[in-house]
């Protein structure tokens, strides 16, 4: 449900983590596990391990990292002396319009525009493909490719491109009991 939340100041990167940046993290950390869990799902990523080093095909180096587990996302953030945003922080960065003092339905406004977001369109091979639009990418697009689709806070790809992690556990009813200031999600859960 829509509700008022007060958040302290925070920083969010302007775009998703690239394959190149994630491979650098894996190479510098020297470990394939993050908090004793896999950092990366090898079936859903463009990053690969060869000759004792993590690599990325040149043409995918600036695409957003995919196949990253939640544990891998947390470890990457810690490596950078950062953290994952809470769901409330992510939502504010994605939708809040400080000038209009309201939340938008999409990062760019209230009306969908398939030309300024990478999503499953005519180039996509999935059953849910929307043939009315073609953004030129069958799958992910290089980060920051859709400048007109940025949120009011200037963050790219808050809708479309790839899924993103937040720090919170998932609970469909959490907002009914959450604090009004800096909610951090439920104390535990399964997802």
Q: What is the pLDDT along the chain (191 residues), one digit of tens a residue?
A: 777 899 999 999 999 999 999 999 999 988 778 888 999 998 999 999 999 999 999 999 999 999 999 999 999 999 999 999 999 999 999 998 877 678 899 999 999 999 999 999 998 888 999 999 998 888 999 999 999 999 999 999 999 999 999 999 999 989 888 999 999 999 988 88
Only one residue has tokens 């596990």, namely: 33
Rounded to 5°, the CA angle 30-34-37 comes to 125
Half-sphere exposure for 114 (CA within 13 Å, toward CB): 15
- Cβ atoms of 72 and 34 closer than 8 Å: yes
Beta bridge partners of 64: 18
Tokens of 51: 């000759």
Q: For the packed helices 19-29 and 70-79, what is the interaxial angle rounded to 10 degrees? A: 80
Q: Residue 103 forms beta bridges with which residues?
A: 96
- List residues bridging with 50 in a β-sheet: 53
Q: What is the dihedral of CA 127, 122, 14, 105, to 10 degrees?
A: -70
pTM here is 0.91
> Are residues 169 and 188 in contact, defined by beta-carbon separation less than 8 angstroms?
yes
Pull the structure tokens for residue 84: 């994952």
């Amino acid at each position: 449900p829509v509700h008022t939340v007060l958040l302290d100041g925070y920083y969010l990167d302007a775009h998703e983590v690239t394959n190149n940046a994630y491979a650098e993290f894996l190479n510098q950390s020297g470990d394939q596990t993050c908090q004793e869990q896999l950092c990366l799902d090898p079936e859903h990523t463009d990053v690969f391990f060869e000759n004792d080093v993590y690599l990325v095909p040149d043409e995918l180096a600036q695409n957003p990292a995919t196949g990253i587990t939640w544990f891998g996302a947390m470890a990457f953030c810690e490596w950078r002396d950062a953290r994952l945003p809470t769901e409330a922080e992510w939502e504010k960065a994605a939708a809040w319009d400080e000038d209009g003092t309201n939340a938008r339905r999409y990062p760019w406004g209230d009306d969908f525009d398939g030309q300024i977001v990478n999503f499953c369109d005519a180039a996509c091979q999935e059953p849910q493909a929307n043939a009315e639009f073609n953004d030129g990418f069958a799958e992910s697009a290089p980060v920051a490719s859709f400048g007109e689709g940025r949120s009011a806070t200037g963050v790219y790809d808050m809708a479309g491109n790839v899924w993103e992690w937040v720090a919170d556990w998932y609970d469909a009813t959490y907002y009914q009991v959450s604090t009004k200031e800096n909610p951090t999600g439920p104390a535990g859960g399964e997802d």
